Structure 1
């Protein structure tokens, strides 16, 4: 993945971004224009999209709702200006607050095939803004970067034939790792596997690792601590604090390791969404720096996550069969 960002000089904010996505061009165009895909990525990291409409033809209308972590829904409307599949898409977005028009933007997305991958270049120009919108516009660039992080994850997930497998991305020059996996189980059951000590102990970590939960209080401000024994008998301890526990939708916690490798905190966000036939889990890990993120990735983070989620899937299957939740 490659990412570049530059801000154009004008009275109102404008930016250009470019990334390469691990998905073919036809799929990438669909990801931008089909609501079932837009629901999965069109919002910053901690937001979800409860509603999406996109009439992909010139003169068509769009509506995309953002739901913030505190439950507030921001409704965005707009008009589709140009649709030239699979190479070019132009539309506007309008944000209103209490019925008052606050911001209007024009978004142009162009798509270029690079083998089996696709480069997407996005230009976002604010064409109207009330002075009261200055604070939100100050975060425009980071908001778009977070949204495109999620686009990178969804593109990788949508491009795989194994929708039950784990998709994982490490966006270049961004101190984050994003993962997504689908589980064939109700959301409440998947949630319980993260928040009940007897369930968490049964799946957390790679195969052959045994967990002892010494502390676990999944409430806002509560703490957890896990002692994990590997197949060679070595014990590592992990701990953290719960920042946001909103059952069964969102779980945010810090993560640290005791001992000589400690002192580097990661902020983990797990978002649980109901999808047809099951639950989609999106996990976002934020690191203190690119170097910290790259070190975690190089140490086997993906290997461990794949095995842990396989163990979680097996646990969920057994709990479903036994109807013990």
Structure 2
């Protein structure tokens, strides 16, 4: 017997995204609640905003028309069901073209001096549409973060310009690849993908991954930060880390060990490594770094996962860790240490790059030697 659409939707887990912002909760809520601000960040990269309207009150309607890279348009609309300023927002979300009729719930929680945004959307008619919306919302939240920083740091009256790369075709191609992957059967569809933009040169972001002193400071989510991190950063080298839950988090102060092996290193643009919890299944992680104006766009993938819940749990964990990475990169001491300046490379980084390449060459030479010995 074939499953009905409703039955299929019930088998698909909700889309859950968490972001942490270094800003007051009232300001973060304001960027959602006032149409002149919401229109500045709504919509994924590479997509224009043709029309936007919002009656921000319980029972009020909202509507948005997005222009796709190919020139076509798509309309989403809904009604605000619940508004508790500045802590909670709930609205319906309809996208008739792809058969989505869902509900979005957003909670804004104060954590230290930051604001944590918990975003949840369900149901979805297919895993493909859930993955597509995960990409779309995540890309929109990159714009949200950039606009928030503009509000906090730019002089009054400074005009806001959306951060677009000018590669809309590439964006749409990546979105289509994600859709194709989710249509595959079995574990091949269970891969997580996260994109982030950092206000720092690519070399600096690469070093945050390749230097264990820095990696220790951001690895692990906020509720379970790393307390130990060691790495032999070369192809074939191993890494090992330990996360420890903070007392007030779920699981208390339990220690969680993880590790893996570096499979590929291309300085400063690509890192591939295995990832495995002690006693768990092995997955493969890929970090790709692209120049993005004066900053860096990072594409992170991991998989395949055995079940969707493991993929979703790792997505939440990595996103929290990347929030910590954002905080680390903008620290004055890091900026000073790396000597960042417009139009110049980071001070002292060439030596690190040469050393990494030297270790990589030595590893390859050793492997060639072993291969030649076997042939003899």
TM-score, length basis structure 1: 0.50
* Larger Rg belongs to: 2
Relative to its length, the structure with more helix (as a share) is 2
Relative to its length, the structure with more strand (as a share) is 1
TM-score, length basis structure 2: 0.44
